[in-house]
Amino acid sequence: MGNISKTYIDYDVRPAMFVKEDCSRTGFDFHSLLYHTAPLVGNFSINQPLTINGTKARFELVPDLDFDVTIENSKLFGANMAAIHNHSAKLMLSKELPYMDNKIMPDADSWKELNISTGELSIREIIMKFSKYVPIKMLPLHRDFRLHNIMFGADYYHLIDFDFAAYDDVSMEVMGMVVDLLEHGFEYVEAFLTAYMESSNIDTYDYMASNYLIYLASSCFPYDRIDTLEPEAFKILSNERTSRLIRLYLNMDNIAKFFQNK
């Protein structure tokens, strides 16, 4: 799920704007840079960042209509994630992003003392015992390029919310979307990954799924925030994390076969 912050629509200005309190300055600057320079394809865009004053940011207000996951939009998301990753790699080489943090994998044992169900603990222990983390490529990433951060309207899809932007392993972003699409069907995963691989400069995918599985298995979120989250919010977040972990765990063979056949 996206970052938790106060947001609202300012109807006192024309045109109306989307306002976010406690906005990440790093995320806003990266968002702005990609909005102006990323070579996106098809009916896909990044919503326009307008101004930031302290941590209060204003953005273009884009439509927010429900959309179905289809083969075509799965391909569109894959092609544009690849376009952004390729462009971000160029920005990194040109040293245009000195302000971005580096993310690291969670401590491999930090989750063991948390109040997690016995069944999930068993799955995490199996994953951590038999999996190996092998970074694919560190890039400046959105880090939450997932379905809930894509808005739709007027025949266009709009990527929003760059608050988690940082340097991270590309596995995290690609597989984050894969796990979203697994909920709808493996055919959408295939469409997304095929489009991504056709356009991406990444040359190896062997450990991509296991890297993200290890991340999910070692992550303490949201269990490390149980004292600060409302009970209902904690329940929603913990259930989502558990379902994502199990969904990917059960599909590791299918993903491996897909990459082997490419």
2 pLDDT more than 70: no
Share the mean pLDDT of the chain.
92
CB 223 within 8 A of CB 238: yes
Torsion of CA 187, 147, 50, 63, to 10 degrees: 90
Long-range Cβ pairs for the range 104-112 (8 Å, 24+): 105/133, 105/214, 105/215, 105/218, 106/215, 106/218, 106/219, 106/220, 107/218, 108/218, 110/218, 110/220, 111/217, 111/218, 111/219, 111/220, 111/223
Q: Across the beta sheet with 156-159, what order do the strands follow? A: 44-46, 156-159, 150-153
Q: How far is CA 16 from CA 28, 31, 152, in A?
A: 19, 20, 17
Flag whether pLDDT at 247 surpasses 80. yes
Share of the chain above pLDDT 90, in %: 77
Q: What is the pLDDT of residues 117-131, one digit of tens each?
A: 778 888 888 888 878
Tell me if 138 sits within 8 A of 169, measured CB to CB. Answer: yes
More confident residue, 88 or 130: 88
pTM across the whole model: 0.93
Mean pLDDT of 38-50: 97
Distance from the first to the final alpha carbon of the chain: 31
Q: Which two tokens stand for residue 87?
A: 């462009």
Q: Which among 188, 193, 182 is positioned nearest to 244, based on CA atoms?
A: 182
- pLDDT given at position 233: 93
Q: Any idea which of 2-11, 38-47, 167-176 has the lowest mean pLDDT? A: 2-11
SS3 219: coil
Q: Residue 108 above 70 pLDDT? A: no
Residues 30, 176: Cα–Cα separation, whole Å: 20
Is pLDDT larger for residue 3 or for residue 241?
241
> Per-residue pLDDT averaged across 214-218, rounded?
92
Domain architecture of the chain: domains with CATH:
7-260 (3.90.1200.10)
Q: Give the model confidence (pLDDT) of 158-203 as tens digits.
A: 999 999 999 999 999 999 999 999 999 999 999 999 999 999 999 9
For the chain, how many helices (H) and strands (E)?
Answer: 8, 9
Asked whether residue 4 carries a pLDDT value surpassing 70, the answer given is: no
pLDDT band at 5 (very low <50, low <70, confident <90, very high): low
